[in-house]
Structure 1
Protein backbone atom coordinates (compact mmCIF):
# COMPACT_ATOMS: atom_id res chain seq x y z
CA UNK A 1 0.00 0.00 0.00
CA UNK A 2 2.84 2.39 0.85
CA UNK A 3 4.47 1.78 -2.54
CA UNK A 4 1.18 2.54 -4.30
CA UNK A 5 0.77 5.80 -2.42
CA UNK A 6 4.38 6.74 -3.15
CA UNK A 7 3.93 5.94 -6.84
CA UNK A 8 0.75 8.00 -7.09
CA UNK A 9 2.42 10.89 -5.25
CA UNK A 10 5.41 10.81 -7.63
CA UNK A 11 3.15 10.74 -10.70
CA UNK A 12 1.19 13.73 -9.39
CA UNK A 13 4.43 15.55 -8.56
CA UNK A 14 5.90 14.99 -12.05
CA UNK A 15 2.59 15.90 -13.67
CA UNK A 16 2.43 19.11 -11.62
CA UNK A 17 6.02 20.02 -12.50
CA UNK A 18 5.27 19.40 -16.15
CA UNK A 19 2.21 21.62 -16.09
CA UNK A 20 4.16 24.30 -14.27
CA UNK A 21 6.73 24.41 -17.07
CA UNK A 22 3.98 24.57 -19.69
CA UNK A 23 2.17 27.57 -18.21
CA UNK A 24 3.97 29.93 -20.58
CA UNK A 25 2.18 28.52 -23.64
CA UNK A 26 -0.29 31.42 -23.73
CA UNK A 27 1.90 34.15 -25.25
CA UNK A 28 2.16 32.27 -28.55
CA UNK A 29 1.88 35.47 -30.58
CA UNK A 30 5.32 36.44 -29.40
CA UNK A 31 7.85 37.15 -32.15
CA UNK A 32 10.10 34.56 -30.59
CA UNK A 33 7.65 31.72 -29.97
CA UNK A 34 10.30 29.25 -28.84
CA UNK A 35 11.63 31.67 -26.23
CA UNK A 36 8.07 32.40 -25.07
CA UNK A 37 7.37 28.71 -24.55
CA UNK A 38 10.79 27.65 -23.29
CA UNK A 39 13.00 30.42 -21.94
CA UNK A 40 16.63 29.39 -21.75
CA UNK A 41 16.19 26.70 -24.40
CA UNK A 42 19.54 27.64 -25.94
CA UNK A 43 21.23 26.43 -22.76
CA UNK A 44 20.17 22.85 -23.40
CA UNK A 45 19.97 19.85 -21.13
CA UNK A 46 23.72 19.21 -21.32
CA UNK A 47 24.80 22.55 -19.90
CA UNK A 48 21.93 22.79 -17.42
CA UNK A 49 21.81 19.28 -15.98
CA UNK A 50 24.72 17.07 -17.07
CA UNK A 51 27.96 19.04 -17.34
CA UNK A 52 27.29 20.55 -13.92
CA UNK A 53 27.66 17.01 -12.53
CA UNK A 54 31.07 16.53 -14.17
CA UNK A 55 29.94 14.38 -17.10
CA UNK A 56 30.65 14.84 -20.80
CA UNK A 57 27.50 15.55 -22.77
CA UNK A 58 26.77 16.25 -26.42
CA UNK A 59 23.62 17.82 -27.88
CA UNK A 60 22.48 16.23 -31.15
CA UNK A 61 19.72 17.41 -33.48
CA UNK A 62 17.84 15.02 -35.75
CA UNK A 63 15.13 15.94 -38.23
CA UNK A 64 12.10 13.74 -38.75
CA UNK A 65 10.74 13.13 -42.29
CA UNK A 66 7.84 15.48 -41.50
CA UNK A 67 10.19 18.32 -40.46
CA UNK A 68 10.30 18.23 -36.66
CA UNK A 69 13.75 18.85 -35.18
CA UNK A 70 14.38 16.66 -32.15
CA UNK A 71 17.05 17.26 -29.54
CA UNK A 72 18.98 14.25 -28.22
CA UNK A 73 21.66 14.17 -25.55
CA UNK A 74 24.57 11.76 -25.41
CA UNK A 75 26.11 11.32 -21.97
CA UNK A 76 29.53 9.80 -21.37
CA UNK A 77 31.22 8.60 -18.23
CA UNK A 78 33.46 10.81 -16.10
CA UNK A 79 36.07 8.05 -16.30
CA UNK A 80 37.48 6.05 -19.20
CA UNK A 81 35.01 5.33 -21.96
CA UNK A 82 33.49 1.89 -21.84
CA UNK A 83 32.64 -0.22 -24.84
CA UNK A 84 29.19 -1.33 -23.80
CA UNK A 85 26.02 -1.05 -25.86
CA UNK A 86 24.18 2.21 -26.40
CA UNK A 87 21.14 2.78 -24.18
CA UNK A 88 18.26 5.02 -25.26
CA UNK A 89 16.13 6.49 -22.48
CA UNK A 90 12.76 7.83 -23.64
CA UNK A 91 10.72 10.08 -21.37
CA UNK A 92 7.07 9.47 -20.53
CA UNK A 93 3.88 11.35 -21.28
CA UNK A 94 3.92 15.09 -20.42
CA UNK A 95 7.68 14.98 -19.71
CA UNK A 96 11.02 15.53 -21.43
CA UNK A 97 14.55 14.13 -21.12
CA UNK A 98 15.22 16.11 -17.94
CA UNK A 99 13.03 13.56 -16.15
CA UNK A 100 15.97 11.14 -16.18
CA UNK A 101 18.28 13.71 -14.54
CA UNK A 102 16.28 14.80 -11.51
CA UNK A 103 18.05 12.51 -9.05
CA UNK A 104 21.66 12.96 -7.86
CA UNK A 105 24.32 11.10 -9.91
CA UNK A 106 24.56 8.17 -7.49
CA UNK A 107 20.79 7.57 -7.87
CA UNK A 108 20.15 8.60 -11.48
CA UNK A 109 19.86 5.81 -14.05
CA UNK A 110 21.56 8.02 -16.67
CA UNK A 111 24.66 8.59 -14.58
CA UNK A 112 24.79 5.04 -13.23
CA UNK A 113 24.71 3.64 -16.78
CA UNK A 114 27.35 6.12 -17.95
CA UNK A 115 29.58 5.25 -14.99
CA UNK A 116 29.32 1.58 -15.96
CA UNK A 117 30.54 2.28 -19.49
CA UNK A 118 27.27 2.49 -21.42
CA UNK A 119 26.73 4.97 -24.25
CA UNK A 120 23.65 6.78 -22.86
CA UNK A 121 21.25 8.73 -25.07
CA UNK A 122 18.27 10.82 -23.91
CA UNK A 123 15.41 11.39 -26.34
CA UNK A 124 13.01 14.34 -26.44
CA UNK A 125 9.92 13.93 -28.62
CA UNK A 126 8.34 16.72 -30.65
CA UNK A 127 6.53 19.40 -28.71
CA UNK A 128 8.66 19.09 -25.57
CA UNK A 129 10.66 22.01 -24.21
CA UNK A 130 13.86 20.89 -25.92
CA UNK A 131 12.32 19.75 -29.23
CA UNK A 132 10.13 22.67 -30.27
CA UNK A 133 11.77 23.40 -33.60
CA UNK A 134 10.52 22.55 -37.08
CA UNK A 135 12.03 23.09 -40.52
CA UNK A 136 9.12 25.19 -41.79
CA UNK A 137 6.36 25.48 -39.16
CA UNK A 138 6.53 27.91 -36.24
CA UNK A 139 5.60 26.35 -32.90
CA UNK A 140 2.71 28.82 -32.55
CA UNK A 141 1.03 27.43 -35.68
CA UNK A 142 -1.93 25.07 -35.17
CA UNK A 143 -0.43 22.88 -37.91
CA UNK A 144 2.70 22.41 -35.80
CA UNK A 145 0.60 20.75 -33.09
CA UNK A 146 -1.45 18.62 -35.52
CA UNK A 147 0.16 15.26 -34.75
CA UNK A 148 -0.67 12.15 -32.76
CA UNK A 149 0.94 9.05 -31.28
CA UNK A 150 1.07 7.67 -34.81
CA UNK A 151 3.61 10.32 -35.86
CA UNK A 152 5.69 9.75 -32.74
CA UNK A 153 5.98 6.07 -33.67
CA UNK A 154 6.26 6.53 -37.44
CA UNK A 155 8.69 9.49 -37.48
CA UNK A 156 10.22 10.43 -34.11
CA UNK A 157 11.32 6.98 -33.01
CA UNK A 158 13.02 5.99 -36.30
CA UNK A 159 14.72 9.42 -36.53
CA UNK A 160 16.01 8.96 -33.00
CA UNK A 161 17.62 5.64 -33.91
Structure 2
Protein backbone atom coordinates (compact mmCIF):
# COMPACT_ATOMS: atom_id res chain seq x y z
CA UNK A 1 0.00 0.00 0.00
CA UNK A 2 2.94 2.32 0.68
CA UNK A 3 3.83 2.22 -3.00
CA UNK A 4 0.38 3.42 -3.97
CA UNK A 5 0.41 6.56 -1.84
CA UNK A 6 3.94 7.72 -2.65
CA UNK A 7 2.58 9.96 -5.37
CA UNK A 8 1.14 12.40 -2.80
CA UNK A 9 4.60 13.01 -1.33
CA UNK A 10 6.22 16.35 -2.17
CA UNK A 11 9.85 16.64 -3.23
CA UNK A 12 10.89 17.45 0.36
CA UNK A 13 8.85 14.47 1.60
CA UNK A 14 10.54 12.13 -0.86
CA UNK A 15 14.02 13.33 0.15
CA UNK A 16 13.52 13.20 3.91
CA UNK A 17 11.78 9.84 3.60
CA UNK A 18 15.13 8.38 2.56
CA UNK A 19 17.24 10.26 5.09
CA UNK A 20 18.49 13.11 2.91
CA UNK A 21 18.56 16.64 4.34
CA UNK A 22 16.53 19.13 2.35
CA UNK A 23 16.19 22.90 2.56
CA UNK A 24 13.53 25.02 0.86
CA UNK A 25 14.75 28.39 -0.45
CA UNK A 26 12.68 31.26 -1.78
CA UNK A 27 14.21 33.09 -4.74
CA UNK A 28 12.94 36.45 -6.00
CA UNK A 29 13.39 37.11 -9.71
CA UNK A 30 14.14 40.51 -11.28
CA UNK A 31 10.49 40.85 -12.26
CA UNK A 32 9.37 40.17 -8.69
CA UNK A 33 8.23 36.56 -8.94
CA UNK A 34 8.93 34.21 -6.03
CA UNK A 35 10.34 30.78 -6.85
CA UNK A 36 11.07 27.86 -4.56
CA UNK A 37 14.31 25.90 -4.81
CA UNK A 38 15.07 22.66 -2.99
CA UNK A 39 18.59 22.05 -1.70
CA UNK A 40 20.19 18.75 -0.71
CA UNK A 41 23.41 20.06 0.85
CA UNK A 42 25.03 16.68 1.56
CA UNK A 43 24.45 12.94 1.38
CA UNK A 44 22.34 10.82 3.69
CA UNK A 45 25.30 9.11 5.39
CA UNK A 46 27.18 12.31 6.16
CA UNK A 47 27.20 14.33 9.36
CA UNK A 48 26.23 17.96 9.06
CA UNK A 49 29.00 19.09 11.41
CA UNK A 50 31.70 17.27 9.47
CA UNK A 51 30.78 18.85 6.11
CA UNK A 52 33.35 21.27 4.78
CA UNK A 53 32.37 24.34 2.80
CA UNK A 54 34.19 23.16 -0.32
CA UNK A 55 31.35 21.25 -1.93
CA UNK A 56 30.70 22.27 -5.52
CA UNK A 57 27.18 23.65 -6.05
CA UNK A 58 25.20 22.15 -8.91
CA UNK A 59 21.76 23.14 -10.21
CA UNK A 60 19.42 20.51 -11.67
CA UNK A 61 16.72 22.14 -13.80
CA UNK A 62 13.58 20.27 -14.85
CA UNK A 63 11.78 20.25 -18.20
CA UNK A 64 8.41 21.57 -19.35
CA UNK A 65 5.64 20.93 -16.77
CA UNK A 66 8.18 19.23 -14.50
CA UNK A 67 9.46 20.06 -11.03
CA UNK A 68 12.22 19.32 -8.56
CA UNK A 69 10.57 15.93 -8.00
CA UNK A 70 11.80 14.80 -11.44
CA UNK A 71 15.31 14.39 -10.03
CA UNK A 72 14.38 12.28 -6.96
CA UNK A 73 11.56 10.01 -8.19
CA UNK A 74 13.66 6.84 -8.76
CA UNK A 75 14.87 6.83 -5.14
CA UNK A 76 18.32 6.36 -3.54
CA UNK A 77 21.17 5.07 -5.69
CA UNK A 78 19.08 5.66 -8.84
CA UNK A 79 17.93 9.28 -8.76
CA UNK A 80 20.53 11.74 -10.03
CA UNK A 81 19.96 14.25 -7.21
CA UNK A 82 20.69 11.62 -4.55
CA UNK A 83 23.68 10.24 -6.45
CA UNK A 84 25.23 13.69 -6.73
CA UNK A 85 24.64 14.47 -3.05
CA UNK A 86 26.30 11.19 -2.08
CA UNK A 87 29.19 12.04 -4.43
CA UNK A 88 29.92 15.22 -2.49
CA UNK A 89 28.03 17.89 -4.44
CA UNK A 90 25.84 20.64 -3.02
CA UNK A 91 22.68 19.87 -4.99
CA UNK A 92 20.10 22.55 -5.84
CA UNK A 93 16.81 21.63 -7.54
CA UNK A 94 15.11 24.40 -9.48
CA UNK A 95 11.38 25.03 -9.88
CA UNK A 96 10.07 27.27 -12.66
CA UNK A 97 7.24 29.70 -12.10
CA UNK A 98 3.85 28.11 -12.48
CA UNK A 99 4.67 24.65 -11.15
CA UNK A 100 3.32 23.41 -7.83
CA UNK A 101 6.28 24.73 -5.83
CA UNK A 102 6.56 28.15 -7.46
CA UNK A 103 3.03 29.51 -7.28
CA UNK A 104 3.49 32.34 -4.81
CA UNK A 105 1.79 35.05 -6.88
CA UNK A 106 -1.91 35.53 -7.44
CA UNK A 107 -1.25 36.65 -11.02
CA UNK A 108 1.48 34.68 -12.70
CA UNK A 109 3.74 36.40 -15.21
CA UNK A 110 4.21 33.87 -18.01
CA UNK A 111 7.80 34.65 -19.07
CA UNK A 112 10.31 32.48 -17.21
CA UNK A 113 13.35 34.14 -18.80
CA UNK A 114 14.17 35.57 -15.39
CA UNK A 115 13.94 32.30 -13.46
CA UNK A 116 17.26 30.59 -14.17
CA UNK A 117 19.43 33.72 -13.74
CA UNK A 118 17.76 34.40 -10.39
CA UNK A 119 18.33 30.83 -9.23
CA UNK A 120 21.98 30.92 -10.26
CA UNK A 121 22.56 34.21 -8.45
CA UNK A 122 20.86 32.87 -5.33
CA UNK A 123 22.96 29.70 -5.23
CA UNK A 124 26.22 31.60 -5.74
CA UNK A 125 25.28 34.13 -3.05
CA UNK A 126 24.44 31.41 -0.50
CA UNK A 127 27.48 29.25 -1.25
CA UNK A 128 30.00 32.11 -1.75
CA UNK A 129 31.22 30.43 -4.92
CA UNK A 130 32.21 32.25 -8.16
CA UNK A 131 30.57 29.63 -10.40
CA UNK A 132 28.54 26.44 -10.34
CA UNK A 133 27.74 23.39 -12.45
CA UNK A 134 24.45 22.96 -14.30
CA UNK A 135 22.44 19.94 -15.44
CA UNK A 136 19.27 20.57 -17.39
CA UNK A 137 16.67 18.27 -18.88
CA UNK A 138 14.60 19.21 -21.94
CA UNK A 139 13.19 22.71 -21.36
CA UNK A 140 15.74 23.15 -18.58
CA UNK A 141 18.35 23.12 -21.35
CA UNK A 142 16.24 25.57 -23.37
CA UNK A 143 16.37 28.00 -20.46
CA UNK A 144 20.14 27.69 -20.35
CA UNK A 145 20.54 28.34 -24.09
CA UNK A 146 18.24 31.36 -23.93
CA UNK A 147 19.90 32.77 -20.80
CA UNK A 148 23.51 32.52 -21.96
CA UNK A 149 22.72 33.90 -25.42
CA UNK A 150 20.65 36.83 -24.12
CA UNK A 151 22.61 37.42 -20.91
CA UNK A 152 26.16 36.42 -21.90
CA UNK A 153 27.54 37.53 -18.53
CA UNK A 154 26.10 34.29 -17.12
CA UNK A 155 28.53 32.22 -19.18
CA UNK A 156 31.23 32.94 -16.61
CA UNK A 157 28.97 31.81 -13.75
CA UNK A 158 28.52 28.28 -15.08
CA UNK A 159 31.61 26.06 -15.22
CA UNK A 160 29.90 23.33 -17.22
CA UNK A 161 26.41 22.80 -18.64
CA UNK A 162 25.23 19.20 -19.04
CA UNK A 163 22.23 19.07 -21.37
CA UNK A 164 20.07 15.94 -21.15
CA UNK A 165 17.65 15.61 -24.09
CA UNK A 166 18.62 19.11 -25.26
CA UNK A 167 15.66 21.12 -26.55
CA UNK A 168 16.13 24.16 -28.75
CA UNK A 169 14.91 23.40 -32.28
CA UNK A 170 11.65 21.43 -32.32
CA UNK A 171 10.79 21.23 -36.01
CA UNK A 172 11.28 17.45 -36.18
CA UNK A 173 9.12 16.28 -33.29
CA UNK A 174 7.73 12.77 -33.72
CA UNK A 175 4.64 10.97 -32.50
CA UNK A 176 1.22 12.16 -31.34
CA UNK A 177 2.76 15.14 -29.53
CA UNK A 178 3.00 16.80 -32.96
CA UNK A 179 -0.79 17.18 -32.96
CA UNK A 180 -0.60 19.04 -29.65
CA UNK A 181 2.15 21.25 -31.05
CA UNK A 182 -0.03 22.09 -34.05
CA UNK A 183 -3.00 22.78 -31.80
CA UNK A 184 -1.08 25.18 -29.57
CA UNK A 185 0.37 26.95 -32.58
CA UNK A 186 -2.93 27.36 -34.38
CA UNK A 187 -4.27 28.72 -31.10
CA UNK A 188 -1.92 31.60 -31.91
CA UNK A 189 -2.29 32.04 -35.66
CA UNK A 190 -5.83 30.94 -36.33
CA UNK A 191 -8.30 33.22 -38.07
CA UNK A 192 -10.22 33.70 -34.81
CA UNK A 193 -8.50 37.04 -34.27
CA UNK A 194 -5.65 35.26 -32.53
CA UNK A 195 -7.93 34.87 -29.56
CA UNK A 196 -5.52 32.95 -27.37
CA UNK A 197 -2.79 35.60 -27.40
CA UNK A 198 -5.37 38.38 -27.12
CA UNK A 199 -6.82 36.79 -24.00
CA UNK A 200 -3.36 36.18 -22.58
CA UNK A 201 -2.21 39.73 -23.20
CA UNK A 202 -5.35 41.34 -21.80
CA UNK A 203 -6.39 39.03 -19.00
CA UNK A 204 -3.31 36.94 -18.27
CA UNK A 205 -2.14 33.72 -19.87
CA UNK A 206 -3.89 30.54 -18.73
CA UNK A 207 -1.92 27.93 -16.86
CA UNK A 208 -1.15 24.34 -17.69
CA UNK A 209 -2.17 23.11 -14.26
CA UNK A 210 -0.88 20.21 -12.24
CA UNK A 211 -3.54 17.60 -11.73
CA UNK A 212 -5.76 17.79 -8.69
CA UNK A 213 -5.31 15.63 -5.61
CA UNK A 214 -8.44 13.74 -6.66
CA UNK A 215 -6.98 12.80 -10.04
CA UNK A 216 -3.75 11.76 -8.35
CA UNK A 217 -5.76 9.58 -5.99
CA UNK A 218 -7.59 7.97 -8.91
CA UNK A 219 -4.34 7.39 -10.82
CA UNK A 220 -2.90 5.59 -7.80
CA UNK A 221 -5.53 2.91 -8.43
CA UNK A 222 -5.16 2.93 -12.22
CA UNK A 223 -1.36 2.83 -12.27
CA UNK A 224 -0.20 0.68 -9.35
CA UNK A 225 1.63 -2.58 -10.03
CA UNK A 226 -1.36 -4.92 -9.79
CA UNK A 227 -3.91 -2.78 -11.63
CA UNK A 228 -5.19 -4.24 -14.93
CA UNK A 229 -5.47 -0.67 -16.22
CA UNK A 230 -1.77 0.12 -15.72
CA UNK A 231 -1.08 -0.09 -19.45
CA UNK A 232 -3.17 3.08 -19.87
CA UNK A 233 -0.66 5.02 -17.80
CA UNK A 234 2.39 3.65 -19.58
CA UNK A 235 0.84 4.24 -22.99
CA UNK A 236 0.04 7.88 -22.15
CA UNK A 237 3.66 8.45 -21.14
CA UNK A 238 4.98 6.70 -24.24
CA UNK A 239 2.66 8.69 -26.51
CA UNK A 240 4.47 11.84 -25.41
CA UNK A 241 8.05 10.66 -25.00
CA UNK A 242 8.57 7.63 -27.22
CA UNK A 243 8.11 3.96 -26.48
CA UNK A 244 10.59 2.24 -24.16
CA UNK A 245 8.83 -0.20 -21.88
CA UNK A 246 12.19 -1.90 -21.35
CA UNK A 247 13.57 1.20 -19.65
CA UNK A 248 10.59 2.02 -17.45
CA UNK A 249 10.71 0.77 -13.87
CA UNK A 250 7.07 -0.09 -13.26
CA UNK A 251 7.56 0.34 -9.51
CA UNK A 252 8.10 4.05 -10.13
CA UNK A 253 5.08 4.52 -12.35
CA UNK A 254 2.70 5.60 -9.62
CA UNK A 255 5.21 8.16 -8.36
CA UNK A 256 5.76 9.52 -11.86
CA UNK A 257 2.04 9.85 -12.55
CA UNK A 258 1.65 11.59 -9.19
CA UNK A 259 4.21 14.28 -10.03
CA UNK A 260 3.83 14.82 -13.78
CA UNK A 261 2.60 17.25 -14.94
CA UNK A 262 3.57 19.67 -12.17
CA UNK A 263 2.20 22.78 -13.90
CA UNK A 264 3.55 25.47 -16.21
CA UNK A 265 2.56 28.60 -18.08
CA UNK A 266 0.51 27.89 -21.19
CA UNK A 267 2.70 30.46 -22.93
CA UNK A 268 5.61 28.03 -22.59
CA UNK A 269 3.58 25.32 -24.31
CA UNK A 270 2.60 27.69 -27.13
CA UNK A 271 6.25 28.68 -27.63
CA UNK A 272 7.06 24.99 -27.99
CA UNK A 273 4.42 24.70 -30.71
CA UNK A 274 5.79 27.74 -32.53
CA UNK A 275 9.14 25.97 -32.87
CA UNK A 276 7.48 22.92 -34.39
CA UNK A 277 5.52 24.95 -36.94
CA UNK A 278 8.63 26.96 -37.88
CA UNK A 279 11.32 24.29 -38.39
CA UNK A 280 14.88 25.54 -38.49
CA UNK A 281 14.16 28.45 -36.17
CA UNK A 282 14.96 28.86 -32.48
CA UNK A 283 13.67 32.29 -31.68
CA UNK A 284 11.80 34.41 -29.18
CA UNK A 285 8.08 34.16 -28.51
CA UNK A 286 5.89 35.39 -31.38
CA UNK A 287 2.91 37.55 -30.37
CA UNK A 288 1.22 36.79 -33.69
CA UNK A 289 -0.98 39.55 -35.03
CA UNK A 290 0.18 41.88 -32.28
CA UNK A 291 3.00 43.17 -34.46
CA UNK A 292 3.25 46.29 -32.32
CA UNK A 293 4.23 44.25 -29.29
CA UNK A 294 6.72 42.24 -31.34
CA UNK A 295 8.26 45.48 -32.55
CA UNK A 296 8.26 47.03 -29.08
CA UNK A 297 10.06 44.03 -27.59
CA UNK A 298 12.31 43.03 -30.47
CA UNK A 299 12.51 46.12 -32.72
CA UNK A 300 11.18 43.82 -35.41
CA UNK A 301 7.77 42.42 -36.37
CA UNK A 302 9.44 38.98 -36.56
CA UNK A 303 10.94 37.61 -33.33
CA UNK A 304 14.76 37.38 -33.44
CA UNK A 305 16.72 34.13 -33.45
CA UNK A 306 18.56 33.32 -30.24
CA UNK A 307 22.25 33.98 -30.81
CA UNK A 308 23.68 30.64 -29.72
CA UNK A 309 27.11 31.67 -30.95
CA UNK A 310 27.36 33.93 -27.88
CA UNK A 311 27.43 30.92 -25.55
CA UNK A 312 30.92 30.27 -24.21
CA UNK A 313 30.19 27.90 -21.34
CA UNK A 314 31.52 24.36 -21.99
CA UNK A 315 28.55 22.20 -23.01
CA UNK A 316 27.98 18.44 -22.89
CA UNK A 317 25.08 17.08 -24.94
CA UNK A 318 23.38 13.79 -24.04
CA UNK A 319 20.82 12.62 -26.58
CA UNK A 320 19.20 9.46 -27.97
CA UNK A 321 17.76 8.23 -31.25
CA UNK A 322 14.46 7.18 -29.65
CA UNK A 323 13.72 10.63 -28.22
CA UNK A 324 10.57 11.95 -29.90
CA UNK A 325 10.89 15.40 -28.30
CA UNK A 326 14.61 16.09 -28.74
CA UNK A 327 15.08 14.33 -32.05
CA UNK A 328 18.35 13.50 -33.76
CA UNK A 329 17.63 16.02 -36.53
CA UNK A 330 16.90 18.87 -34.12
CA UNK A 331 19.88 18.07 -31.88
CA UNK A 332 22.12 18.06 -34.96
CA UNK A 333 20.84 21.50 -35.88
CA UNK A 334 21.60 22.69 -32.34
CA UNK A 335 25.12 21.26 -32.53
CA UNK A 336 25.80 23.17 -35.73
CA UNK A 337 25.12 26.44 -33.87
CA UNK A 338 27.20 25.80 -30.75
CA UNK A 339 30.94 26.47 -30.70
CA UNK A 340 31.92 24.92 -27.38
CA UNK A 341 30.67 21.33 -27.22
CA UNK A 342 33.11 19.23 -25.18
CA UNK A 343 31.06 16.00 -25.14
CA UNK A 344 28.48 14.72 -27.60
CA UNK A 345 27.12 11.54 -26.00
CA UNK A 346 24.54 9.35 -27.69
CA UNK A 347 22.69 6.80 -25.53
CA UNK A 348 23.88 3.32 -26.65
CA UNK A 349 20.41 1.75 -26.58
CA UNK A 350 17.70 2.35 -29.15
CA UNK A 351 15.16 2.02 -26.34
CA UNK A 352 16.20 5.25 -24.58
CA UNK A 353 13.47 7.92 -24.71
CA UNK A 354 13.03 11.50 -23.52
CA UNK A 355 12.35 10.67 -19.88
CA UNK A 356 14.81 7.80 -19.59
CA UNK A 357 17.57 10.33 -18.93
CA UNK A 358 15.80 10.81 -15.60
CA UNK A 359 14.08 7.51 -14.87
CA UNK A 360 15.40 4.87 -17.27
CA UNK A 361 16.59 1.52 -15.92
CA UNK A 362 19.86 1.83 -17.87
CA UNK A 363 20.63 5.42 -16.83
CA UNK A 364 22.53 4.44 -13.68
CA UNK A 365 24.68 1.95 -15.56
CA UNK A 366 25.42 3.59 -18.92
CA UNK A 367 24.65 7.29 -18.55
CA UNK A 368 25.44 8.51 -15.04
CA UNK A 369 29.01 7.12 -14.86
CA UNK A 370 29.88 9.20 -17.95
CA UNK A 371 28.13 12.21 -16.47
CA UNK A 372 29.83 11.86 -13.07
CA UNK A 373 33.28 11.52 -14.64
CA UNK A 374 32.64 14.65 -16.68
CA UNK A 375 31.41 16.65 -13.70
CA UNK A 376 34.44 15.60 -11.64
CA UNK A 377 36.71 17.27 -14.19
CA UNK A 378 34.92 20.59 -13.77
CA UNK A 379 34.03 20.61 -10.08
**TM-score of the two chains, using structure 2 as the length reference:** 0.27
Q: Quote the Cα distance in structure 1 between the aligned partners of 2:34 and 2:14.
A: 21
1:159 aligns with 2:125: no
Deviation at 1:101, TM superposition (A): 1.0
Aligned length: 108
Q: Deviations over 1:106-138 (max 9, x none)?
A: 10100010001100000001000000012xxx1
Contact 1:44 1:130 in 2 (8 A): no
Which of 72, 80, 85 does residue 114 from structure 1 map onto? 85
SS where residue 133 of structure 1 aligns? coil
Which of 30, 45, 66 does residue 79 from structure 1 map onto? 45
Which is richer in strand?
A: 1
Structure 1, unpaired ranges of 5+:
1-20, 22-39
Task: Report the structure number with the largest CA radius of gyration.
Answer: 2
Deviation at 1:44, TM superposition (A): 5.3
Task: Give the 3 Å change call, closer, same or farther, for CA 112–88 of structure 1 in structure 2.
Answer: same
Q: Quote the Cα distance in structure 2 between the aligned partners of 1:102 and 1:44.
A: 10
Structure 2 match to 1:56: 21
SS where residue 110 of structure 2 aligns? coil
Structure 2 match to 1:14: none
Q: Quote the Cα distance in structure 1 between the aligned partners of 2:92 and 2:70.
A: 13
**TM-score of the two chains, using structure 1 as the length reference:** 0.61
Q: Quote the Cα distance in structure 2 between the aligned partners of 1:52 and 1:130.
A: 18
Q: Quote the Cα distance in structure 1 between the aligned partners of 2:25 and 2:69.
A: 15
Structure 2 match to 1:70: 35
Q: Quote the Cα distance in structure 2 between the aligned partners of 1:62 and 1:44.
A: 19
Deviation at 1:84, TM superposition (A): 3.1
Q: Quote the Cα distance in structure 1 between the aligned partners of 2:69 and 2:75.
A: 12
Structure 1 match to 2:110: 147
Q: Deviations over 1:94-114 (max 9, x none)?
A: 111111111021101000100
Contact 2:11 2:72 in 1 (8 A): no
Q: Quote the Cα distance in structure 2 between the aligned partners of 1:72 and 1:105.
A: 20
Structure 2 match to 1:12: none
Q: Quote the Cα distance in structure 2 between the aligned partners of 1:59 and 1:160.
A: 13
1:129 aligns with 2:100: yes
Which is richer in helix?
A: 2
SS where residue 91 of structure 2 aligns? strand
Structure 2 match to 1:7: none
